[in-house]
Structure 1
């Protein structure tokens, strides 16, 4: 398989969620400049769920107009729209309008909705498109999807987002205490949004090349040839690549197995995309600012690394899929326990506490990222319809997870933040 096509598939994957992931990591710099303040993350959660109207519309088109949906045209449209929305954000994110007598970030929230629409719709269009290429490229696509979270986080780290130190501050009675002081960023929010726009543009160029580059056309031709050869003469296919492709196509899952696969997929995405990101700061900050940033960075890196591992160790075992999903769920249980007990989680003043929480986050993200890859490979074997519904289930699971944790965190306030400069516990 052509190395150039692998690179293009990876770059296409980076455009899937880079905009929304970038917004999350940039929040510490956005919040001081908008009238919504720290309510902005809550608004962002709701806006992202509204973006699910895109995948719903695509799923309905596939249902009522089977075989007539032009996915290539949709992908061109959403990538172009994403580039434009990121570019507009760079110049208008601080603009406000008076709504109900109060200033509101109408431009920011409107553009956030359009970006959410773009990223959510990518789940039900990019995956079906990747079926046009040989199975190995789907794994590369998942590596790129993982990088869509890691690369903005890496740039934000270089920008200095959230980098802080503890400094003495005076209080009443001449008492002093340590408080968190955040450093000024190395470059502006506008520059960061221009970076996101350039990443979307690179993804768009990669998609153009996947459609027109001779090497990519050859890979699509190989996939069609192997499928036709298996239909015409299933016992006369030679070579390791052909044998592997035939082995995958020869199996058809039962409805109970498909229900199990989609159930695991929904659960995993509810955890990774909805529930657990909302409690990461509560689970890590009591152990210190270093523990929080280390867990966030390494966990983001674990996603593409797990998918990269899948390039060499692909697996379609439903038993392994369930085992890894269970292991990831147990890790999520410990992480949730530390968040619930914040600001006094287990092993608070011990190095083992920092090591354990960072390790749990890395293994949690890594194991469930590999499960996502496994489900993608299995569903690819089942055909185009399975990959469309794969995207739908990803979005539904993410939405349920986000809407479940939202009132717990933002409405009822059941979680309490730890102070990275004060590790004392009440009582």
Structure 2
């Protein structure tokens, strides 16, 4: 009889842990689902926004500006430690992100005139509030998980991965709107403009944003249930609460050394910790690199983030749209899928040393050079209007995203394995500096120079 009771208790504990896993996965989805979803929807947004092809550059800068959130939180923790509970900060952010996404569904096409020029002020402002959730997740969400058993941390990583996979999958189902193909101007047909195809997506951006809103609401409710479970466990059975409250290593230092640089939705830093731990099981020795190698890696990750987090996302539309909206749509959605896939593959392969990272970075340079060449060749890049050109631009962006992700992950893992928190802090500083510089450069290039020329489509303005 006692044996049966013990088995029943184990089954109850298993069910309880499974429920906690599900809730933490939902909580993890909220980290970057808003920003990821907006980037995935860009092929449709550029068709209606007054900024047109420059809209991605605006969004990159806005997302980078949202890093003010974790900075303010870190400062408040230092100077006003009793100002507000950690759970209250998280709850406020989730509510803010949900309200912003819900509002965005109804005002994303709203235009505001500033000095005689129309801008998507409402869209960009709501994107900023949505990005605050993602940018603050590294200093709020991960430390909060110290309240739960360490095994549940993996569930949070799964949720972060789904924050990119789910919007991409839904966008693939949504399809594209607006085929960029036009007839030749030499054509004598009187129906040239009317003859251009205008494909209609299966559902509008409004429905898509409402889907993201529902995910954020579900994530908010999941967090509230998690918080209530902590409170109830503390009050009812302190012994049982040890299942949930197992401190995670370095949790007290999270605000000071967590990577605050993520201007584009990523979760390489947390995956880097998993990679490092997996590698440490294979070898107990720690390799110490000299100052030259360390400086080289710092410069390399700065350049990688300059291009991958700032510059290239800002010119992506110029690189892809001349091949049609289908090419742009596939590029954005599939490239977002390659990010978490690259992180998962890194868990199965030990991170390479500096030479291996150099090889990966070289391949990334080749891919980035190709897509940059296409952007500067707009509106008539090579192989435009051919299947070959479409395939090449899509594959180049998928490879570029995967290589950049793997290179950043590997460099972060090296510094974490070698020197720990101090080096990771400087990695965060360099990463942020590179990302911001790249974002500003792409913004200036697309808005205040004539080097990038958008392709004039035949789609009538709405």
TM-score, normalised to structure 1's length? Answer: 0.72
Q: Which of 153, 158, 170 is 1:155 aligned to? A: 170
Q: Summarize the alignment of residues 203-352 of structure 1 with structure 2, pairs less than 5 Å apart.
A: 203-207=219-223, 212=229, 218=243, 221=246, 251=286, 256=291, 262-315=298-351, 317-346=353-382
Per mean C-alpha deviation after superposition, the further-off stretch among 355-364 and 27-36 is: 27-36
**2:419 is the counterpart of 1:403:** no
Equivalence for 1:114: 129
Q: Does 1:416 align with 2:441?
A: no
Gaps (5+ residues) in structure 2?
Answer: 1-13, 234-239, 251-275
In structure 2, the CA distance between the partners of 1:378 and 1:64, relative to structure 1 (3 Å rule), is farther
Q: Aligned partners of 2:217 and 2:442: how far apart in 1?
A: 33
Which piece of structure 1 moves more, 333-342 or 384-393? 384-393
CA gap of 1:305–1:45, structure 2 versus 1, over 3 A, is closer
Secondary structure of the 2:433 match is helix
Between the aligned partners of 1:99 and 1:168, the Cα distance in structure 2 is 35
Q: 1:72 and 1:395, CA in 2 relative to 1: closer, same or farther beyond 3 A? A: farther
SS at match of 1:182: coil
Counterpart residue number, 1:20:
35
* 8 Å CA contact 1:143, 1:308 repeated in 2: no
User: Please, which moves more after superposition, 287-296 or 125-134?
Assistant: 125-134
SS in 1 for 2:41: helix
Question: After the TM superposition, which residues 43-62 of structure 1 pair with which residues of structure 2 at under 5 Å, given as runs?
Answer: 43-61=58-76
- The alpha-carbon deviation at position 270 of structure 1 amounts to 2.5
1:362/1:171 CA distance change after superposition, 3 Å: closer
Greater displacement, 61-70 / 194-203: 61-70
C-alpha separation in 1, matches of 2:391 and 2:319: 13
Residues in 2 aligned to 1:56 and 1:341: alpha-carbon distance in whole angstroms = 39
* In 2, Cα distance between equivalents of 1:348 and 1:105: 30
CA distance in 2, matches of 1:319, 1:128: 34
- What's 1:186 paired with? 202
| Distance change in 2, residues 1:58/1:186 (3 Å) | same
The offset of 1:108, in angstroms, is 3.5
SS of residue paired to 1:221: coil
Aligned to 1:238: none
SS of 1:16 mapped into structure 2: coil
**C-alpha distance in 2, partners of 1:367/1:279?**
18
- Bigger drift between 3-12 and 369-378 goes to 3-12
What CA deviation, in whole Å up to 9, does each residue of 1:166-187 have, x standing for no partner? 5769999545657653323333
> Displacement of 1:82 after TM fit?
0.8
Bigger drift between 115-124 and 251-260 goes to 251-260
Contact 1:138 1:377 in 2 (8 A): no
When structure 1 is superposed on structure 2, of 59-68 and 284-293 the one drifting more is 59-68
Q: Indicate how the Cα distance of structure 1 residues 242 and 162 shifts in structure 2: closer, same or farther if over 3 A, else same.
A: closer
> Mind listing any 5+ residue stretches in structure 1 that lack a counterpart?
226-240, 422-427
Cα distance in 2 for partners of 1:68, 1:377 equals 34
Give the deviation of 1:86 after TM superposition: 1.1
Task: Calculate the TM-score normalised by the size of structure 2.
Answer: 0.68
CA deviations 1:309-359 (Å, max 9, x no partner) are 233335374443443233222321222123223344455577654444333
Mean Cα deviation higher: 363-372 or 101-110: 101-110
What is the deviation of 1:260?
Answer: 5.3
